Amino acid sequence: MKPRAVKTLCIDVGGSGIKAIVLDATGKALTERMRIETPQPATPEACLLVIAQLAAAQGAFDRVSVGFPGVVVDGVTRSAPNLSPEWAGFGLTAAIETMTSKPARAANDAGVQGLGVIEGKGVEAVITLGTGMGFGLYVDGRYVPNIELAHHPFRKNKTYEERVGHAALLSVGKKAWNKRVSEVFTQLEPILNYRVLYVGGGNSRLVKPETLPDNVRIVDNLAGLLGGIRLWA
Ligand code: BGC
């Protein structure tokens, strides 16, 4: 098979929806993106049933990539703050390989998202604004995995995620939430000194582009799935 013809089933597990698409090696979509609501409670068993449904509906693929909303080491999930405590120590890639009979790789969702958009030059970072707040750091294109910035104290005795996650958006409204998001950039810029910061995730469309510093770019939420190909690079 020509490398270009390899079909990757890219799955993005989120706090509110689980999404899937099949991409060729160049990132071209071969299927329609599908989304199924994340089951509640979002246990491994319940989420795997949804992944099985998505995989069946997406048709043929050769390998599977998963962006997962928590810490993932060697295909094993360590945490999933917005899913369920049952994910601690779950063999995610092994379970998907058993289910699909195809090789699988998994990494943190924000990490995968960034892999889909970075330029691979110098220090780049990604923040995802969705149910939770995701973070990824890249040095010359190499991902530094599992930096859990979301749960680090930020302001007013609250963590980053408590200040700018989806629950905060609902409770304080768009205007105050936008101000908080700007405060996150102001806080991080002089610490990380990134060349570019990319902002993705479902709520990134609510960030007012005119308020952004020059080195902060909003990216399409589809990147969460595109990055799945890079997990095989
Ligand atoms: C998790 C991160 C994840 C982010 C976005 C946070 O609560 O700790 O690992 O990337 O949510 O899903």
Distance CA 73, CA 2 (A): 30
Q: Whose CA is nearest to atom 5 of ligand 1?
A: 134
pLDDT score of 223: 73
The residue nearest atom 4 of ligand 1, judged by CA position, is: 134
Residue 3 Cα to ligand 1 midpoint, Å, equals 32
Closest residue by Cα to atom 8, ligand 1, is 70
The model's pLDDT over 102-127, given as tens digits with 9 standing for 90+, comes to 999 999 999 999 999 999 999 999 99
- Compute, in angstroms, the gap from residue 155 CA to the centroid of ligand 1: 18
Q: Which domains does the chain have, with CATH numbers?
A: 3-111+225-232 (3.30.420.40), 117-219 (3.30.420.40)
Percent of the chain with pLDDT over 70: 99
Give 166 Cα–ligand 1 centroid separation in angstroms.
12
DSSP element (H, E) containing 72 = strand 72-73
What is the average pLDDT across 166-186?
97
Residues with Cβ within 8 Å of 154's Cβ and at least 6 positions away in sequence, in order, are 160, 162, 163, 184, 187
